[in-house]
Chains A and B, each alone.
Chain A
């Protein structure tokens, strides 16, 4: 019985939050990795692209709620998501046309594009703060739990409860759908193949008649969609605050690099590696160990390796280790 309790506690505090956070990071990192693969720069504005898409989704959610529309048990934000994606696509394409294209034609060095993306980050951040303000916004509605911890306890008779939140299930399901769609697109369709060809070898792709502007446009559309979905899922699960989204940049970059930047599969793996490391290292293990250890060995402290405030340090250290020992990442991304 103690063993079961330990497993349930582990699932409740580590596995489920880890999977959820990992899915969010994975979708975010896919966006970074696609920009890197096709446009060949690290997009510092990605966190704010996520925040922008989420903001449009939130505004649309509020509008739908004021009209009395709802999805029943699901959060209204899912219905508003396509509007958010559209809004984000429009913004990103406008920025690409007005800002990035110039440097593409100049064949500017990647680091110049990174600096330009810093400027874009400022502007997006400003737009977001201007429209929705810098404060926390909560936009999740519908029932919070699919199984609440108390129900689980009465159902199974265990001491530990296992609570599964609606947003966690939605995150995982959406992530699976999104990833499946993306891989189908990249591997099976003509446009997806042209994107991969362009990423592999730009000159050869140009020779075989692939229109670079079209590839770039497709990339931005996909990146905007991914960013909005990742941002909305994160916002539903936690809450929306522009500054938090900016800070997500570090774990997202870490995920993309750990997996191998430029490799979509790597981005997903990296997302989960980073998420699980963050959760396991900042989790207070006492609750699990109490069930597993004999009474005499019971830990006195919280058995927390690091306080939660150091979660950035975790993604950072993993990033450094990978960069030092395996610079191409776990999945042989582009060695840069």
Chain B
């Protein structure tokens, strides 16, 4: 059986599973799995670029995804009237001052001869800069957060519309996706500059840390993200269900196909999303595939497989790693912005490392690290399992405990905990794949 046949069969299997879930659990649910599956596949492509191509161990995917979500809010939402006038200039000034402090400190570090004087000078710059930064930032943040705190209390975004009309500018979300990638790329540049020269374990710990910090920032900097109050009503690039239901032409067409208007509108919206996402996935897949087979991709794999030899050939290892780290993280950022668009809201409290970092890793490992097609397959398959393990677990538990009395404590506990089955299942799948099929479902060629 040739590779093409095998791969097509694997993909056919996954899509059959999704279609089956449509028959059994409703098409709405199946479309949700499909949409999130595409987003997961994009995240997996990003991680595969870093791990599969270059052997970089990034466990901060969650942070880059969240930064993408931030971009969706900053572009999609309308500016809060009066908020920027209240404290915007001050915040910008404070941020510039903060950046200036860091630049000055690193300049001092590079230019002054090492010794006590340099340390003292750097300390002085950092301490003074920090207090000046906080001194300007805090009052201005308070001013911004005081603007209508119940409804906004943050700067808002760049959407040209007003509070009533901003939803009409849904096209802006399409811009937000690449901007999300840019945000993630910026963060990746910072972290990569600092940590890529070190060995792989340290990069893992550093990225783990940066992800937690990004989430802490999004939860606390209310002036930027509304924090745990969440931003809801992010506009969308596709029509709203209600508008569709009010349009006579749409209702008529739905009726002619035998759908009722409510169901038809939700499905149509999800289908449009799926098409948009599929286009993005297609572009990123095509680019990754080109990269994989280009001299650049071969160089990365050479660095991954034998660092010393690659260096001896005159390849700039750290620069190449930084490059691929930034690109991979940017892809995760794009996926994050798409996810926030799909959800229509930014909820910093829901970003969990197990779901957004480690699950993506399971996708890459299961799909086959180093293979783009594998990453996509892993994204769909593992996401499908992640969604379906819960009902399956409940079903299994119900069968296992069917002999027990209704109020047996063990039965109640087992049924109640069935929801927790998914973590264990993912872990077991990951360990088994690593052990018995370390190259994944679609191995690297």
A residues bordering B, Cβ < 8 Å? Answer: 41-42, 44, 99, 102, 110-112, 114-116, 118-127, 129-131, 133-134, 243, 246-247, 249-250, 253-254, 257, 301, 305, 307, 309-310, 312-313, 315-316, 319-320, 323-324, 327, 336
Tell me the chain B residues, 408-445 only, with Cβ under 8 Å from chain A: 416-417, 420-428, 430-431, 434-435, 438
Asked whether B201 lies within 8 Å of A126 as measured between CB atoms, the reply is: no
CA of A134 to CA of B423, assembled, Å:
12
Closest B residue, CB atoms, query A307: B220
Out of A119, A131, A250, which one reaches B434, CB within 8 Å?
A119
Out of B194, B202, B361, which one reaches A118, CB within 8 Å?
B361
Confirm or deny: B250 has a beta carbon within 8 angstroms of a beta carbon on chain A: no
In the bound complex, residues from chain A placing their C-beta under 8 Å from that of B361 are: 115, 118
CA of A51 to CA of B190, assembled, Å:
33
Could you say which of B84-92, B207-215, B280-288 contacts chain A?
A: B207-215
In the bound complex, residues from chain B placing their C-beta under 8 Å from that of A131 are: 417
In the bound complex, residues from chain B placing their C-beta under 8 Å from that of A313 are: 209, 213, 216
17 example contacts (A-B, Cβ-Cβ < 8 A) are as follows: A110-B200, A112-B438, A114-B201, A115-B434, A116-B431, A118-B59, A125-B427, A126-B422, A126-B425, A250-B212, A254-B205, A309-B216, A316-B212, A319-B205, A319-B206, A323-B206, A336-B201
Closest A residue, CB atoms, query B205: A253
Asked whether B434 lies within 8 Å of A129 as measured between CB atoms, the reply is: no
Confirm or deny: B365 has a beta carbon within 8 angstroms of a beta carbon on chain A: yes
* A123-B424, A250-B212 known; A112+B220 contact, CB < 8 A: no
Which secondary structure dominates chain A's binding surface? Answer: helix
For residue A82, give the distance in angstroms from its CB to the closest CB of chain B: 26
Out of B210, B362, B426, which one reaches A316, CB within 8 Å?
B210
Out of A122, A310, A320, which one reaches B424, CB within 8 Å?
A122
Tell me the chain B residues, 311-368 only, with Cβ under 8 Å from chain A: 352-354, 358, 361-362, 365
Confirm or deny: B32 has a beta carbon within 8 angstroms of a beta carbon on chain A: no
CA of A95 to CA of B81, assembled, Å:
58
Confirm or deny: B198 has a beta carbon within 8 angstroms of a beta carbon on chain A: yes
In the bound complex, residues from chain A placing their C-beta under 8 Å from that of B217 are: 310
In the bound complex, residues from chain B placing their C-beta under 8 Å from that of A327 are: 198
Confirm or deny: B204 has a beta carbon within 8 angstroms of a beta carbon on chain A: yes
Confirm or deny: B219 has a beta carbon within 8 angstroms of a beta carbon on chain A: yes
Closest A residue, CB atoms, query B352: A243
Asked whether B209 lies within 8 Å of A114 as measured between CB atoms, the reply is: no
In the bound complex, residues from chain B placing their C-beta under 8 Å from that of A42 are: 201, 204-205
CA of A316 to CA of B60, assembled, Å:
13
Asked whether B194 lies within 8 Å of A320 as measured between CB atoms, the reply is: yes
